Structure 1
Amino acid sequence: MIPQVTDWDDAYANAPHIPGGAGFPDRWAAEAGAFRDRHPPATLGLGELYLPDDPRGLAVIVHGGYWMKFGPRWFSHLAAGALARGWAVLLPGYTLAPAGQLATMRDEIALQIAGAAARVPGPIVLSGHSAGGHLAARLICADTPLPDEIMARVARCVPISGLFDLRALRRTAMRGDLGLDDRTAMLESPLFHEPHPELSLHVWVGADERPVFLQQSRLIADAWAGIPRETRLTVEPGRHHMDVVAGLTAAEHPLTEALVGAV
């Protein structure tokens, strides 16, 4: 059972509750830079596109940062696992809040996916971490901005430690920068939409995450169960919010398998 929340800003704060949490962004940036040196990406709008020879399909990984921080250049290394398995990988960028609003971010990512899909044949799989998990899930809702011919190629969505019910964030200091009035919180929460049925959903979260993130992942897995052709929830032991995405760097890690395996 989730404990009673008395401080909503603290409930959604991750780095202060993780040993060495403040150092993760610098670590990500260093690993991402080293990966780009080995695998220079093509640019696609605000994003990065990694293209192997004869790609098996297109994997999309949307970065997190509470919609207000970071960009693909902090997370280039997350393409490593799927790329090693022969998948093209798109790390889309989006206009950060407060300049960008949630619906704008979703639409910008959809345009980049369409651009990458025009260059890469085969199935498409979507993922994202934290705020990126929210945006990935939002893209598979019935009112997706993805064109029908692109949506028909989407085989799977794997949101990682995502945010699916945004109403609680109205109680945090982020609400102003995110433009989270009552209407926006409802419209942009995947929880209040139905997903496309012709794909599979695999919700992923770390066992050592803050209670609200565990709750958010269980909530969407339960709410959407039975609508996609398959719905799964994995609570990965020993992982917290900052390292739960690390599995994407390894070709044989279960998280990479969840994203690009047996499509």
Structure 2
Amino acid sequence: MKPLDDAYENGAYIAGAETYPPKWEKAAARFRDSLGARAELSLSYGSGDRQVFDFFNAKGTSKGSLIFVHGGYWKAFDQTYWSHLGAGALASGWSVAMPGYDLCPQVRISEITKQIASAVAKIADRTSGPIALAGHSAGGHLVSRMMDPAILPEAVRRRITRIASISPVADLAPLLETSMNDILGLDAVEARAESLIAMAPPQEAEVKIWVGADERPAFLEQATAQAKAWGSEQTISPQKHHFDVIEALEDPNSDMVRYLTGQ
């Protein structure tokens, strides 16, 4: 083990952690099936098999588009596990897009950032109106990176109105001291370049940080680090841990969905 392995281990501190991925996968499949033709699946935004997004169309004229980017420490999962998290925004009259991306160690984190930028630009091309971004864990890092002027074209960036960074990894330097870096392949230069705390706070979009009160101390510290660096509001969700803090996205009346959809 390396010095910070335990600090960034979530599953060992969540009761029934092993049951969550299969539950997510089944709930996501049921949700996609319930949408019928409104669910457009595996739309390409790049050259790789994982460079695709699922798009869930709002009923009638869409009020905007929510793009959700999943977590998994940049090395696990794809977009198909999370479809049900679009329920809240869809019920609020918004369309929802969920991109996948290549995983470490096949690519570096900086390349994943570029892939998500390509996905956001592609989704922007097929939509009109405001865009909101939400991301969980590594996804919180990725959606926040979209506000770097060097990452996303200005015309697209200016359409992004709100970002929910959920349990984000804002400072990648500590990951150098974890065994997972054998897969991530981070060095000090990339860790600094990809860290949210090293970015200038965005001017175009409002950003709010969410984190569960029952998360590992390292994730509470990471969320606070982004909030302080960016001057953003932070919400600590009571009795929520790293795996269930995202469930608020299913509820159109949750503070998270109401924020993202401008209610």
TMscore range, shorter length:
over 0.9
Q: In the alignment, residue 27 of structure 2 is paired with which amino acid?
A: E
**Local SS of the residue matching 1:245:** helix
1:47: how far off? 1.3
Q: In the alignment, residue 173 of structure 2 is paired with which amino acid?
A: R
**Local SS of the residue matching 2:115:** helix
Give the equivalent residue in structure 2 for 1:3.
Answer: none
> How many residue pairs get matched?
251
Q: Contact 2:88–2:253 (CA<8 Å) still a contact in 1?
A: yes
Q: Contact 2:202–2:230 (CA<8 Å) still a contact in 1?
A: no
CA distance in 2, matches of 1:198, 1:109: 18
1:7: how far off? 4.0
1:147 aligns with 2:153: yes
Q: Aligned to 2:32, which of 29, 36, 60?
A: 36
TM-score under structure 1 length normalisation: 0.92
Q: Deviations over 1:158-210 (max 9, x none)?
A: 11001010000000011121121111100111110113212111000000000
- 5+ unaligned residues in a row in structure 2: which ranges? 45-51
Q: Deviations over 1:4-25 (max 9, x none)?
A: xx94111101011011011110
Q: Contact 1:163–1:213 (CA<8 Å) still a contact in 2?
A: yes
Q: In the alignment, residue 43 of structure 2 is paired with which amino acid?
A: L
- Aligned pairs (5 A) from 1:114-125: 114-125=121-132
CA distance in 2, matches of 1:213, 1:105: 21
Give the equivalent residue in structure 2 for 1:91.
Answer: 98
Give the equivalent residue in structure 1 for 2:174.
Answer: 168
- Aligned pairs (5 A) from 1:56-71: 56-71=63-78
Q: Contact 2:129–2:159 (CA<8 Å) still a contact in 1?
A: yes
1:157 aligns with 2:163: yes
CA distance in 2, matches of 1:212, 1:153: 32
1:103 aligns with 2:110: yes
1:258: how far off? 2.2
Q: Deviations over 1:103-154 (max 9, x none)?
A: 21111111121121122111111110001001011111232x2211101111
Give the equivalent residue in structure 2 for 1:50.
Answer: 56
**Local SS of the residue matching 1:251:** coil
CA distance in 2, matches of 1:27, 1:7: 32
Q: Contact 2:71–2:139 (CA<8 Å) still a contact in 1?
A: yes
**Local SS of the residue matching 2:5:** helix
Give the equivalent residue in structure 1 for 2:10.
Answer: 14
Q: Deviations over 1:41-78 (max 9, x none)?
A: 21322111111121111111100111111011011111
Give the equivalent residue in structure 2 for 1:258.
Answer: 259
Q: In the alignment, residue 113 of structure 1 is paired with which amino acid?
A: V
Give the equivalent residue in structure 1 for 2:236.
Answer: 235
Q: Contact 1:44–1:116 (CA<8 Å) still a contact in 2?
A: no
Give the equivalent residue in structure 1 for 2:210.
Answer: 204
CA distance in 1, matches of 2:117, 2:148: 12
Q: Contact 1:44–1:112 (CA<8 Å) still a contact in 2?
A: no
Stretches (4+) displaced over 2 A = none
Range with greater deviation from structure 2 (12-21 or 42-51): 42-51
Q: Percentage identity across aligned positions?
A: 39
Give the equivalent residue in structure 1 for 2:136.
Answer: 129
CA distance in 2, matches of 1:259, 1:248: 9
Q: Contact 1:72–1:91 (CA<8 Å) still a contact in 2?
A: yes
Q: Contact 2:157–2:204 (CA<8 Å) still a contact in 1?
A: no
Q: In the alignment, residue 12 of structure 1 is paired with which amino acid?
A: Y
CA distance in 2, matches of 1:199, 1:86: 21
Range with greater deviation from structure 2 (32-41 or 239-248): 32-41
**Local SS of the residue matching 1:258:** helix
Give the equivalent residue in structure 1 for 2:48.
Answer: none
Range with greater deviation from structure 2 (160-169 or 117-126): 117-126
CA distance in 2, matches of 1:136, 1:195: 13
TM-score under structure 2 length normalisation: 0.92
Q: Contact 1:131–1:163 (CA<8 Å) still a contact in 2?
A: yes
Q: Contact 2:211–2:237 (CA<8 Å) still a contact in 1?
A: yes
Range with greater deviation from structure 2 (174-183 or 36-45): 36-45
